[in-house]
Every structure is written in structure tokens, then in C-alpha cells.
């Protein structure tokens, strides 16, 4: 089955504007501003992105959320010690503000 992605704001690797992308066997076989001409007997799954951004090949979309949460927690603890006027010696060395 073919997959046709329409109206994608494409970055591959530079901004290409609004494009249509045709995918066959998990490979991009067409990128262009016009819809590809396809035979009516072909089974085509169409997805309209309505201008949403598409970055083909970008598969590493993870984030280190725990690092951010840990930094925020440390900041809160440090501020509590500061506002409560507790001496830094109360904190373990690795928590020192």
C-alpha cells in the first residue's frame, strides 16, 4: 500500500515549504509541491497534515525529563533552605546550594 502525506510543512534537512510526500515500502519515493498522479487501482492511504511540520527521518524524539525534574527539585530545596535561614551545613555536600 502507498501512503500519501499531503500539505506537510517539510524540513528535509532545510525548509522546503508545503509539500506532498509519497511513501512506498517505508521509503519516500516522491516529494513535491504537486500531488503525484497515481493510477486509480492503487491502494493509497492519504493523510492531510494541514500545514503541520514534518521532519522525515527524525526518529530520536526523546527528552531527559527526569534530569529537568531533578534540577527543579534541587532548586526548590535550595530555596527552602535559603528562605528558612537554615545553614548550608544541614544539607549533604552533594545537595549544597
| Residue 44 Rama label (left phi>0; alpha psi -120 to 50; beta) | beta
Check residue 57 and give its pLDDT.
Answer: 78
Architecture of domain 2-54: Roll (2.30)
- Kindly report, residue by residue over 12-56, the tens digit of the pLDDT: 878 999 999 999 999 999 999 999 999 999 999 999 999 999 988
Rounded to whole angstroms, the Cα distance separating 84 from 96 reads 15
- Kindly report, residue by residue over 54-93, the tens digit of the pLDDT: 988 766 666 666 666 667 776 676 666 666 665 555 555 4
In the DSSP assignment, the letter for residue 97 is -
Rounded to whole angstroms, the Cα distance separating 56 from 24 reads 14
Whether residue 96 has pLDDT greater than 50: no
Amino acid at each position: 500500500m502507498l501512503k500519501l502525506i499531503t500539505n506537510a510543512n517539510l524540513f528535509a534537512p532545510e525548509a522546503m515549504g508545503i509539500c506532498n510526500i509519497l511513501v512506498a515500502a517505508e521509503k519516500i519515493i516522491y516529494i513535491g509541491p504537486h500531488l503525484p498522479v497515481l493510477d486509480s487501482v492503487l491502494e493509497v492511504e492519504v493523510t492531510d497534515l494541514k500545514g503541520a511540520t514534518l521532519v522525515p527521518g527524525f526518529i530520536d524524539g526523546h527528552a531527559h525529563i527526569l534530569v529537568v525534574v531533578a534540577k527543579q527539585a534541587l532548586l526548590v530545596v535550595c530555596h527552602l533552605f535559603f528562605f528558612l535561614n537554615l545553614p548550608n551545613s544541614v544539607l549533604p555536600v552533594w545537595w549544597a546550594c
